[in-house]
Structure 1
């Protein structure tokens, strides 16, 4: 998508423009967070109506405040529609891949969350998320539907969504203009785990990685904003590999003690979790409710509700 350009009268007196209408349009665009390339053309002679400002969005050329407002509302509506499209088509596939696919869950998702959580919660939350995810899928497809058929349907719909995203992005750096928006953040949050996580069953991951411009999009966002995280992760992995030989020798000698410690930890966790549940009740996390009642993301986060 071509970036939005705005031709205006130059600024003076500490203001962005000396002209009322130019300042009006520019201020509104700042209010709603529209990425725009401003040009101080200072010459209305060659404009369509002989006036400034002039806003250009691809082939669309607008020359007054009211036209600009209507056009930007249409862009907002498009971003909102894409957000809902993600929730309807890609979110079920994302949840299925992480939490419902038994191989992915047992070999990757559950160990990852259990490692991050403290005892005794590492025994509770992964199982709870797993159960909630299956409840969401059952609500969408029916409790007694064959899981293999569900997987085929979910991933087929996800493929369509990914292709639509690819078509919308095209050769642009971002989805809606020359600067990132909240929609770019949303897409990155969906796709990055599918690129980075080591899924044993990589059906959805392979679909994402096969689309070149989406792959570049994820890599670009990650490089610009989270390079330090990636560098630290690679550094830690490199250190672990270097020390793995010595550690393996120690673990052989400590195997009986490690087994005993794990059994005791599990027993303690079960007792602590039971006491915690009886005293406070169990915290409920429901992917089904999140899916049904989730609100759309706004591309322009600062836009007022009545616009």
Structure 2
């Protein structure tokens, strides 16, 4: 059991992983406390399906959340033992509901929305990849997402209409989730289930990733019990990741603030130096008048030794 290794996409924005499927598996494994070596992969080329996550346990190589859950269950690791038959059926139905209504919106927000893809998704995945794969895989994943949206809504349908429809369906799904959770800590009592890991993996990136077009993320953030749900799981299972992100973020803000202050003070410092120089010039001028320096210079102005005096001073120097 100590030889289990999990390859995932790296984390960002206080998330343990930027990827939905990786976050599902990682959260589930955190719930059950299975010992695992987590590796942030930067090259999915050798992964069985060219995607992450990949869990390896001896000769077992597993690439989907369902495969991981079943394998760990065979090793007597499971979070669902407390669910009765009705709850297990409900969890299964809700999982399918999320796949049909929330997943398309999730994929649209991450990969199809061009502004989000250009400014957030592609840079995040490119950062996680090594050259030259960072030029290939983000575009490949975007094409897969676009093909799925085209298959669901029609290739020639206006994207704005698709976005409106897809987000409306997602909002209904989120409202249903919120009603089901209520004020409970988890969806089925006071213990987490595999379904809680799935919901967290959907919601956490929408809450934490700084989308330029944040329609879906803002809707999630506007549902208090779902945002509290994300916060609780993050705090209990990924506190180290969150704390490290907060430290780094505070450090960046502090560095930025110091740089801003220096930039803001620069004109004032320059102004003060100029004023000081002007004041000094006036002071020296006043002193010169008071000591009769200008009069002395005037006396020498028409003297035959005037030029010679300065020549001699230059020679002395």
Indicate the TM-score class for this superposition, using the shorter chain for normalisation: 0.5 to 0.7
Can you list the C-alpha shifts for 1:105-147, whole angstroms capped at 9, x where unaligned? 0011111111111111010111111111111100110100010
Gaps of 5+ in 1: 1-29, 37-70, 250-307
Equivalent residue, structure 1, for 2:229: 217
Can you list the C-alpha shifts for 1:164-201, whole angstroms capped at 9, x where unaligned? 00010011100012100110010000000000000000
Select which of 154, 162, 174 maps to 1:162.
174
Task: Count matched residues.
Answer: 185
Question: What's the RMSD between the two structures over aligned residues?
Answer: 2.1
Can you list the C-alpha shifts for 1:209-267, whole angstroms capped at 9, x where unaligned? 11111011001111111111011111122233344577xx9xxxxxxxxxxxxxxxxxx
Structure 2 CA distance for partners of 1:240 and 1:170, relative to 1, 3 Å: same
1:124 is aligned to 2:127: no
Equivalent residue, structure 2, for 1:187: 199
Equivalent residue, structure 2, for 1:235: 247
Equivalent residue, structure 1, for 2:60: none
Deviation beyond 6 Å, 4+ runs, structure 1: none
Name the SS for the 1:118 alignment partner. coil
Structure 2-normalised TM-score?
0.55
CA distance in 2, matches of 1:219, 1:146: 36
CA distance in 2, matches of 1:213, 1:187: 13
CA distance in 1, matches of 2:201, 2:165: 23
Residue 33 of structure 1: how far off its partner (Å)? 4.8
Residue 87 of structure 1: how far off its partner (Å)? 0.1
1:201 is aligned to 2:204: no
Equivalent residue, structure 2, for 1:86: 98
Select which of 97, 105, 120 maps to 2:109.
97
CA distance in 1, matches of 2:185, 2:87: 17
CA distance in 2, matches of 1:243, 1:114: 26
Contact 2:79 2:194 in 1 (8 A): no
CA distance in 2, matches of 1:112, 1:72: 40
Contact 1:35 1:179 in 2 (8 A): no
Equivalent residue, structure 1, for 2:238: 226
CA distance in 2, matches of 1:35, 1:216: 25
Structure 1-normalised TM-score?
0.57
CA distance in 2, matches of 1:205, 1:214: 12
CA distance in 1, matches of 2:254, 2:168: 42
Contact 1:35 1:177 in 2 (8 A): no
Structure 2 CA distance for partners of 1:241 and 1:179, relative to 1, 3 Å: same
Between structure 1 and structure 2, the one with the greater Rg is 2
Equivalent residue, structure 1, for 2:123: 111
Name the SS for the 1:187 alignment partner. helix
Residue 75 of structure 1: how far off its partner (Å)? 1.6
Gaps of 5+ in 2: 1-75, 263-317
CA distance in 2, matches of 1:168, 1:117: 38
